Amino acid sequence: MSSSDLRRKLHSYIESGDKQLLNTLNETVETYMQQKELDQMIAEGEEDIKAGRTYGQDEVQQMILNWTKE
């Protein structure tokens, strides 16, 4: 099924759906989007590690102390 066909099908479900269907679709999409964002953050973190952009525990503790002083 093409993307445009799938969009039309989903729009049809949305237009004719009851409150329960709409709530379920909304929760599903929100969960998907949150997971997609988390996956991106993890990928960026892995890139940082590979590039050596990391901090040691002492450095992080000092950063926290500096933040709380401001």
Per-residue model confidence as pLDDT tens digits over 9-64: 999 999 999 999 999 999 999 999 999 999 999 999 999 999 999 999 999 999 99
Residues whose CB falls within 8 Å of the CB of residue 22, separated by 6 or more in sequence, listed in order = 14
DSSP state for residue 29 in the 8-state scheme:
H
The tokens describing 23, both together, are 């709530």
pTM: 0.72
Which domain does 63 fall in, by range? Answer: 3-69
- CA-to-CA distance for 35 and 42, rounded, in angstroms? 10
Total domains in the fold of the chain: 1
